[in-house]
Amino acid sequence: MSERLLQVDGLTKRFGGLVAVNNLSLDVAEGELHALIGPNGAGKTTFISQLAGELHQDEGAIRFDGREISAWKTPARVQHGLARSFQITQLLPDYSTLDNVAIAVQAHSGHSYHFWKDVRTIAKFRDEGRRHLDRVGLGTRADTLVNSLSHGEQKQLELAIALATAPRMLLLDEPMAGLGTAECTGMIELLKVLKTEITILLVEHDMDAVFALADRISVLVNGERIATGSADDIRSNEQVRIAYLGEGDA
């Protein structure tokens, strides 16, 4: 494990009287797959949204690749290699599956103030898009409208779109949620490959997936980080057991 790619210091987010994220500090090393677990309402998605720049923190700082990015808007963060996937899929329903990915490739390769050439004939976007679809197993669905994809396929597409922005770090918000058993296994296999290429912060409820994939795990409860460590550390941590693992879905 080398450099710290993402460094979060004392991040806080309040919604009125509710403290969703409370003085949260966290490091993710370059090349690491860091999993974030915690019970529902622990602030995991809020935290991801803050990292992605969709929500602004009330206090604290975010450093990415050595740069302070707290004030950056979402597009700037994505352009610098910090991409996210959504727990509730955010897709372009009127476009084909390939369009959804190719548009992300296009967004990553310079500005789009080109007004003349038919975008669907530009081979570099289409080919690169197909490559990402193949990776997540959607290669045969390229020309299907997103509306007619199954839920599992839409989750795969979410990941393909995030990959198409050529990220250095991926923020994955529950990529396994709502997937069938077979699809889950496939997703875990894919993430095993991806983690060798891209730094990943994974929010996930599926404990089998987390323990199979994560280099380190952080546990979030009520917006606070109560533990960080390897899978074994977390399994044997008394505080975590009480707060989370003992309470049901583990």
What is the binding site for other proteins (CB under 8 A)?
52, 54, 73-75, 78-79, 83-84, 86, 90-95, 99, 103-104, 106-108, 112-120, 122, 136-137, 139-144, 156, 161, 164-165, 182-183, 185-187, 189-190
CB of 2 to other proteins, least distance (A): 26
Q: Are 219 and 39 in contact (CB under 8 A)?
A: no
Q: How far is the CB of 59 from other proteins (least distance, A)?
A: 24
Minimum Å distance from CB 177 to other proteins? Answer: 16
Q: How many helices (H) and strands (E) does the chain have?
A: 9, 10
Contacts with 150 (C-beta within 8 Å, 6 or more apart), sequence order: none
Q: How far is the CB of 134 from other proteins (least distance, A)?
A: 8
Do 48 and 173 touch, CB atoms closer than 8 A? Answer: yes
Contact 33, 210 (CB under 8 A): no
Closest CA to 61 of 4, 5, 3, 7: 7
Q: CB 50 → other proteins: shortest distance, Å?
A: 14
Query: Is the CB of 67 or the CB of 232 nearer to other proteins?
Result: 67
Residue number, 29 or 95, with CB nearest to other proteins: 95
* C-alpha distances in Å from residue 122, one per residue of 114, 145, 225: 12, 20, 46
- The residue whose two tokens read 């990959």 is 163
For other proteins, the closer of residues 144 and 222 by Cβ is: 144
**Min CB(93)–other proteins separation in Å:** 6
Toward other proteins, which CB reaches closer, 79 or 228?
79
Q: Which is nearer to other proteins, 89 or 237 (CB)?
A: 89
- The nearest distance, CB 56 to other proteins, in angstroms, is 14
Sorted by sequence, the CB contacts under 8 Å of residue 97 that are 6+ apart come out as 133, 138, 141, 142, 143, 144, 145, 146, 149, 153, 157
Closer CB to other proteins, 17 or 117, in the complex: 117
Give the full edge-to-edge strand order of the sheet including 82-85: 82-85, 169-173, 199-203, 33-37, 216-221, 224-229
Of 113 and 238, nearer to other proteins (C-beta) is 113
66 Cβ contact list (under 8 Å, min separation 6): none
Rounded Cα–Cα distance for residues 151 and 159 (Å):
13
